């Protein structure tokens, strides 16, 4: 799905404007009191993706710290990784992170499945 506006704008509007909502967003402990929740709508998995020919091996989250990780700007996964000490290069779309991965601007991309 393509957002018509940047995620941060959509998210902030839902927080500040009456009768606005976000479809869909990750339910995290930090967000629990911020919204009236419907669902869950789907189960999601947070993953770090590399190119097929990448030599990178990750056995724990801390193994990702030395690598250039791309993430979606202001996304729950990006915030989670940052809170765990992983430096995330933020992009305004997942599509942009795929392009960055292809041209070696990042070593792995953070994504939801």
Averaged pLDDT, 84-110:
94
Name the band, by pLDDT with cuts 50, 70 and 90, for residue 91: very high
pLDDT per position as a tens digit, 24-64 = 788 889 889 998 888 888 888 999 999 999 999 999 999 99
Of residues 98, 101, 103, 63, the one with CA closest to residue 84: 63
CATH, domain 7-112, list 3.30.2090.10, 3.40.50.300, 3.40.50.1370, 3.40.190.10: 3.40.190.10
The pLDDT, as a whole number, for residue 63 is: 97
User: Cα dihedral sign for 84, 85, 88, 92?
Assistant: positive
**Domains in the chain: boundaries:** 7-112
Please tell me the pTM assigned to this model. Answer: 0.75
């Amino acid at each position: 799905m393509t957002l018509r506006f940047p995620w941060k704008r959509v998210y902030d509007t839902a927080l500040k404007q009456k009768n606005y909502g976000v479809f869909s967003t990750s339910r995290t402990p930090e967000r629990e009191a911020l919204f009236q929740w419907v669902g869950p709508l789907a189960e999601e998995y947070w993953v770090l993706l590399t190119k097929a020919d990448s030599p990178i091996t990750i056995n724990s989250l801390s193994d990702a710290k030395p690598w250039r990780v791309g993430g979606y700007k202001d996304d729950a996964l990006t915030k989670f990784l940052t809170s765990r000490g992983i430096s995330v290069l933020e992009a305004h779309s997942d599509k942009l992170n795929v392009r960055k991965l292809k041209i070696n601007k990042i070593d792995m991309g953070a994504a939801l499945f």
